[in-house]
Structure 1
Amino acid sequence: MSTAAHASASSAPRVAVEPAADAAAGPAIPEPALGKRAAQRQRKTAAIVEAATQLFRSRGYESVTTQQIAEAARVTNGAFFRHVGSKSDLLVRVVNDQLRTGHDRALASLEEGADPTQAILDLMVPLRDLSLEHPELATAYIREVVFARSTLTAGSLEQIDRMRFAIERILRHADAAADADRAGQRPADYCAFAADTVFSSICIELVRASLGRSDVLSLPERFRTMITRLVEMLLR
């Protein structure tokens, strides 16, 4: 056989399997099977999150182990870590599910013309309520997202970043509405800095309340006073 014939014979099988589209469409990787595996993974993750939510609320974050959560969710320890990462990631995911409602409420308030203080208060309602009902969870959450960020996955931090960006958007909107010329003269990152200041102050107040250093029941009023003063100071 000639050199050209050898080249043709050796390359022919490879040409049949190289295109990704042919492989994806072929019977070797049926889409229903892929969909079934994804659905099973989603069910296990949901079971773990639900089990953790119940255990964290009834027993507290610190006293609950990953083994207990896995047993309650009826999954193995290996499946636990594959689906949700660490216990810290799981805590953040549990709380983040609650925080999304505040994010949506705050942006809706902004669209409806609410003042910046009220919009930020709407954003923080779920976290404030968590501090009132389950102070240990709120303390653990703030500790993880503020002081132990390097141990969390990017997905766990996404909701916190969304909250900070929402505060920045609220402040930027209020700044431009109050004085467009003044807002245009500020540094480009000014509202981002202001949002970090507001968010950090809120976190500190939550920690103080959850540690018993301030009255938890007065959180709503203290939040309003603090945020009002910060917004006035930062946007003057």
Structure 2
Amino acid sequence: MPAESAPVGRRERNKQQKLERIVTAAAELFSERGVDEVTTQQIADAADIGTGTLFLYAKTKGELLLLVQNSHYADALERGRAASADARTPLDGVMALATPIIECNRVQVENGRTYLREMVFGDPTEPHHAAALAIVGETEQALAETLSRLASIPAAEASALARVVSSIMFLTMASSDAEVDIAQIVEGVRTQVSAILPR
């Protein structure tokens, strides 16, 4: 007989509700104004909590952005996995996987660039940063699986190639300013990736 999970206590429910309010408030403010134009006080006010409470969930504005964006990137990765399942060539498979991630990164350009900076230079011991790095790892794993399946590349080689493809994608997104549109970024990534894939 399976053990029933214990009901969640009031304290845990309150913590979860506060976290949801923080994420909702931060997401709305970051989307409207961009991360650089929003203060932690504004987020705390919108979430109806004190700034001290806010800092229990995220110590910096960068960590708040990671908290908000991680779920968007995870969703984009899942859309990419689904799209790559129908691909017939390694390049098409890689680009089907990469395109939703690129689109996610460009919803609000400065937020996307700040997210990438926080991912690379943030505190790796911080849980939201660790979650972002886990998404990068999942992206590389999905790329490796796609390359193995469509190009018959051995697993170790596919993993190394996936790391290179991931680096191309993230560096291209990070270095593209606001005037560069999604189609241009996708084409730039496609051109670079096609140069390194086996023929």
Instruction: Map 1:3-152 to 2 at 5 A.
Output: 31-32=6-7, 34-148=8-122, 150=124, 152=126
Q: Structure 1: any 5+ residue segments left out of the alignment?
A: 1-30, 177-182
User: Which structure shows the bigger proportion of residues in helix conformation?
Assistant: 1
Paired residue total: 192
| Compared CA separation, residues 92 and 174, structure 1 to 2 (3 A) | same
Q: Give the distance between the partners of 1:194 and 1:225, measured in 2 at CA.
A: 15
- TM-score normalised to the size of structure 1? 0.69
Q: Give the distance between the partners of 2:39 and 2:181, measured in 1 at CA.
A: 27
1:70-123 Cα shifts (integer Å, max 9, x gaps): 111111222212234432222122222112222222322344454333333333
Residue 175, structure 1, aligned to residue 151, structure 2: yes
Counterpart amino acid of residue 67 in structure 2: R
Is contact 1:117-1:228 (8 Å) kept?
yes
Q: Give the distance between the partners of 2:15 and 2:26, measured in 1 at CA.
A: 17
Q: Which residue of 1 aligns with 2:157?
A: 190
Partner secondary structure for residue 210 of structure 1: coil
- TM-score normalised to the size of structure 2? 0.80
Partner secondary structure for residue 31 of structure 2: helix
Q: CA RMSD in A?
A: 2.6
Identical aligned pairs, as a percentage? 28
Q: Which residue of 2 aligns with 1:227?
A: 193
Larger radius of gyration: 1
How far the C-alpha of 1:211 sits from its partner, in A, is: 6.0
1:122-169 Cα shifts (integer Å, max 9, x gaps): 333343224444211111011111233536432343222221222222
Q: Which residue of 1 aligns with 2:133?
A: 157
| Compared CA separation, residues 174 and 152, structure 1 to 2 (3 A) | farther
Is contact 1:88-1:152 (8 Å) kept?
no
